[in-house]
Structure 1
């Protein structure tokens, strides 16, 4: 197994690696740097002899350049974060293709426990484009994905929120989240944003509290109902009210439509402000 870390060799990516190194220490897993090069655009131009100007030599030179860049980036991370002293293994992969598909394929081949990617706080048009990259990863993989804001100095998590829809998968996912939280000695705040059917939701809440009564007594998890007509507003309020430093969610086809399919501005602003751990149904 490994922790898969897509990188573009930027300073933001290097900064985000600090959290990845901590996660690698806590799990004992190595980290795989992966860089995806876009497929080459084959020029229709030809020389005087009628031969294509895109040669195998040119493509080989481009491949060598990218491998040299990722090797240099690996050495930079080793030096900056003292990985040898911390026994954090680091390897690298370079692939050509479309980002979401190639990262997902690598995650399966390498048996990634987590895919960790940085999210930049950039102007709206670029944020939407980058959001497309993150969503492309989510569409093509079933592995847990952690998104890290560009200017997030936090390497430890103490207060992890889990936004739930009270689905049948909650039990298994909450157990996985508690295992993750245990790595950081963190507390889980499990909450549901609701606007109706309180009797049903209170019944589900009580069942979960009975299921995790031991963890509640130990102070490892607490359950809440958060009233709000709009999911994003409820998320924002709960994050601020409880001073969360990570938000966990399950990516589902028919839930959180406002978050996944609504305003890119607001959803990516949330991505850019708080680390997120996204599971799949």
Structure 2
């Protein structure tokens, strides 16, 4: 985790994410890059008339000044990148993120009806990313992540993706609780299968992770059940996997991510399968 990317649109939510990312950069001894992308899809009619180049130049000066301030305030290496792109913002962020180990993005939930139905820029960038993304809700200040909950239906999938999460857990030196999420009611058979899978997970990852705890929630509304669990137990962060191998799994889990990132008041770490 040596390079962190933080896209910004100069909003309060993205400025808050920059401060959060800067604190992470301090902890990881990493560099931070602030990215501002002007997509043709995002420009106003007035900006289209004046020309994208003028708008990008003005943005660059503001972004460079912000990166200097972050370098001064947090004593880290902070760089500025501003670019224009013909594609949608989420696709542009995906292209730029290939060079980084971690992405930190601010979110203030769905801003309007369109985003509520089709997802915010943050949500759409998450779906396209093959790097871990930390979503920071607006107004949430940085605090050390000492405990993390990883919500996943490993009983249904017969596997628990951990490849991309383990390095982050190790870097943070945090405790990990694996939360089995399922719509099914309690059954003895399911409990025995869970214990068998937990033994396999412990055996396979005993060198990577010192200790994994396990818990289970059962509810028809998975996203709300996870959120209630987080609010009740108050861990420092939630982890979700952004992709399953099956089509049904991908649709299901993307829906959960969409709902969680719209309502959470805690950092959410989304990582690829």
Question: What TM-score results when the alignment is normalised by the length of structure 2?
Answer: 0.80
**How much has 1:280 moved relative to structure 2?**
1.0
Q: Secondary structure at the match of 1:19?
A: helix
1:1-281 equivalence runs, <5 A: 2-39=3-40, 58-79=51-72, 82-83=73-74, 86=75, 88-97=76-85, 98-108=88-98, 111-121=99-109, 125=113, 128=116, 131-166=119-154, 167=157, 170=160, 172-173=162-163, 176-194=164-182, 195=184, 198=190, 199-213=192-206, 218=210, 220-253=211-244, 254-255=248-249, 257-258=251-252, 260-261=254-255, 266-270=259-263, 272-281=264-273
Distance 2:67 2:150 in 1: 33
Runs (5+) with no aligned partner, structure 1: 44-52
Asked if structure 2 preserves the Cα contact closer than 8 Å seen for 1:178 and 1:188, the reply is no
Distance 2:206 2:52 in 1: 60
**Which deviations, in whole Å up to 9, do the C-alpha atoms of 1:123-152 show, x marking residues without a partner?**
553762893312321232211111001111
| Structure (1 or 2) with the larger CA radius of gyration | 1
Change (3 A) 1:241 1:255: farther
Q: Secondary structure at the match of 2:81?
A: strand
Change (3 A) 1:11 1:42: closer
Q: CA RMSD in A?
A: 3.2
Runs (5+) with no aligned partner, structure 2: none
**Which deviations, in whole Å up to 9, do the C-alpha atoms of 1:202-225 show, x marking residues without a partner?**
321222233345777x5x431223
Asked if structure 1 preserves the Cα contact closer than 8 Å seen for 2:71 and 2:77, the reply is no
* Count, aligned residues: 258
**How much has 1:28 moved relative to structure 2?**
2.3
Asked if structure 2 preserves the Cα contact closer than 8 Å seen for 1:147 and 1:277, the reply is yes
1:47 aligns with none
